[in-house]
Amino acid sequence: MKGTEILLGHVKDRAAAALIVDGTLEDVLVETDAPTPGTIYRARATRPVKGQGGMFFDTPDGSAFLRGAKGIASGETHLVQVSGYAEPGKAIPVTGKVLFKSRFAIVTPDAPGMNLSRAIKDEDMRGYIRAAAETELAEHSTHGVILRSSCEGAEADEIAEDVDAMLSLANAVLGDQGDEIEKLLDGSGPEEFGWREWSKAPVRETDLADLVDEALQAECGLPGGGSIVIEPTRAFVAVDVNTGRNTSPAAGLKTNLATAKTLPRLLRIKGLGGQIVVDFAPMPKNDRRALDAALNAAFRKDSIETTLVGWTTLGHFELARKRARAPLHEVLR
């Protein structure tokens, strides 16, 4: 099936959303019990971490940790925003740079000005989008706004209403004068995240159990007969690449290049992050340059921040990936 489609439904009584592109599962989200990225707290600083410049905070959902907490004293309250999912037994990762995201705009408090996504190339379109947002932004001079690539092709009224709603939300949250720890804004659930981050595509409700079962499978086939096996462990995510029945001299590189192309998608739908170690199929060392280029190209297009660390002495490849999603196998166990 060609085209893009957004599917909404439930899995084990949890709300879920899936993005299908040309018949392939590109992304899937399932409701979790953990605080979702984007959640904003008024939190109280409790304990600094010397040597790291960090600070622990108390929140209504437990302990949180902020890196780069310079100038914050124990006992003070500050606004913090959840930036990812915590590892088991660890504090919720938060940032002090609070943002308000919607489909068309990202409001940046105390950073006035307007910026447009670089993905919008047409100058006439850029002018049209700027004009749609200028009136609302002028009324909130202390805030800034980033106009997202989704603005391209949208109606001016849609953009203006979205910018106004986000600026009003920012004013309401930032203007709260309380002094006790409190959750001020919930992060996005699967349906809201899909509406905000995925393209404008037809939406329908359906049973998502089979799609989620597919995402949970450890082994995934590759074009040409090879396969990838992805297994989360306590310390890291292990990825094993196999050529299958293909034993030709070019099999290793061919399978590894196919892996590079599909690995970001598989990690995304499984919700996996942290340290990732890939055991690629055997190939000559002089083929590594081509594989490095393929990995860089694939992860550059991915929405989740990933650092390609490089090759180890034993010939494995290491990555460090932001924990932007809750691991699917943990949410549904």
Question: Taking 70 as the threshold, does the pLDDT of residue 1 lie above it?
Answer: no
CATH of the domain at 122: 3.30.230.10
Residues 268-291: tens digit of each pLDDT: 999 999 999 999 999 999 999 999
Residues 272 and 309 in one domain: yes
Q: Is the pLDDT assigned to residue 140 strictly greater than 80?
A: no
Q: Do 322 and 295 lie in a common domain?
A: yes
- Please say if the pLDDT value at position 256 is more than 90: yes
Residue 34 CA to residue 186 CA, distance in Å, equals: 11
Rounded-to-integer distance, Cα 274 and Cα 322, Å:
6
Dist CA 307 CA 99 (whole Å)? 23
Domain of 166? 100-188
- Span 151-173, mean pLDDT? 91
105 and 76 fall within a common domain: no
> Which DSSP state fits 97?
S
CATH number, position 279: 3.40.630
234 and 310 assigned to the same domain: yes
pLDDT digits (tens, 9 = 90+) for 69-79: 888 889 999 99
- Three-state SS letters, 230-269: EEECCCCEEEEEECCCCCCCCHHHHHHHHHHHHHHHHHHH
List of residues 6+ apart from 302 with CB closer than 8 A: 264, 268
Q: Judge contact between 59 and 43, C-beta under 8 A.
A: yes
Residue 160, both tokens:
């203006």
What integer pLDDT is reported at residue 286 of this predicted model?
A: 93
**What is the total count of domains within the chain?**
3
Asked whether 27 and 269 are in contact (CB, 8 A), the reply is yes
Q: How far is CA 326 from CA 22, 25, 30, 62, 270, in A?
A: 25, 18, 9, 17, 9
Residue 268 placed within a domain: yes
Same domain, 68 and 130: no
pTM over 0.95: no
CB 112 within 8 A of CB 143: yes
Q: Is residue 206 part of a domain?
A: no
* pLDDT at residue 310 tops 90: yes
Asked if 254 contacts 261 with a C-beta cutoff of 8 angstroms, the reply is: no
Report the alpha-carbon distance of residue 57 to residue 75 in Å, rounded: 9
* CA nearest neighbour of 77 among 171, 185, 182: 182
The stretches of the chain forming alpha helices (DSSP H) are: 123-138, 156-174, 190-197, 209-216, 251-270, 288-300, 328-331
Both 124 and 107 in one domain: the answer is yes
Using CA atoms, how far apart are residues 244 and 248, in angstroms rounded to an integer? 11
pLDDT of residue 220: 93
